[in-house]
Amino acid sequence: MKREDFVPDKYKHMANMDIPLPIGHGATISQPSFVEQMCNLLQVDSNSKVLDIGTGSGYQAALLAERCKEVVTIERVYELYIEAKERLERLGYSNIKVIYGDGSKGYKKEAPYDGIIVAATTDGITKEWKEQLKEGGRIIYPEYREGHEVLVEGIKKGNDIIKIDHGYVKFVPLIREEENEEYA
Ligand code: SAH
């Protein structure tokens, strides 16, 4: 898998740098070391079905698709959704379903998931994410904490999510379509 396949032409010469790069519409292709770390923390295997929130370029979805059985990825910006869908098809990924919509509600139609990855920073785990995660499954996401962002590993145990912090990160914000925010 080559990151340059996921980067706009004018940034291709920077594709191998460990930095986020703009992909238009205020989005960025994440920093490769964070993408790798998030995939590793998810602890999924070739039997897993995962939900990837914030498709962006499709890079994270592609990396997940190489490790999992099935990836469902969701993007709220139509142009990015179309671009990523075409790109992933062209690159031959047959186990990725690209969905256009608001990922803050997860994607119920394909639930439950063995793991969920969120590529945009949020105040917490939405109640839909928790509902759609299997028992013992993990959710990996960046969370706002008083002026900075922390990468969090959440493990579902019954009605609770146990949270483990994994250091500082920087992502674009998760955009929520509705004002009434409800967190698990
Ligand atoms: N995983 C992507 C990173 C994209 S940056 C990659 O590997 O390239 C985060 C993405 O989240 C942006 O494309 C942004 O449009 C999208 N996003 C923000 N809020 C969202 C929401 N509520 N639902 C789905 N996607 C969202």
Which residues form the pocket of ligand 1, taking CB atoms under 6 Å from any ligand atom?
Answer: 27-30, 53-54, 56-57, 59-60, 74-77, 80, 102-104, 119-120, 172, 174-176
Q: Which atom of ligand 1 is nearest to the CA of 77?
A: 15
Residue 183: predicted pLDDT: 79
pLDDT tens per residue, range 39-59: 999 999 999 999 999 999 999
pLDDT at 182: 74
* Torsion angle defined by CA atoms of residues 116, 140, 80 and 180, in that order, rounded to the nearest 10 degrees: 80
Q: Is the pLDDT assigned to residue 107 strictly greater than 70?
A: yes
| pLDDT for res 180 | 65
Decide: pTM greater than 0.75. yes
Among 116, 174, 179, 181, the mutation site with the greatest number of ligand 1 atoms within 8 A of its Cβ is: 174
Separation of CA 11 and ligand 1 centre (Å): 19
Q: Is the pLDDT of residue 161 over 70?
A: yes
Helix (H, G, I), strand (E, B) or coil at 122: strand
The answer on pLDDT for 6 being more than 70 is yes
Strands 70-75 and 49-53: parallel
Share of the chain above pLDDT 90, in %: 93
**Which atom of ligand 1 is the closest one to the Cα of 30?**
3
User: Span 157-179, mean pLDDT?
Assistant: 91
Average pLDDT, the chain: 95
Distance between Cα 173 and ligand 1 center (Å): 8
Ligand 1 centre distance from Cα of residue 80 (Å): 9
Active site amino acids? 30
> What strands lie across the sheet with 70-75, from one edge to the other?
96-100, 70-75, 49-53, 113-118, 133-145, 148-157, 160-168
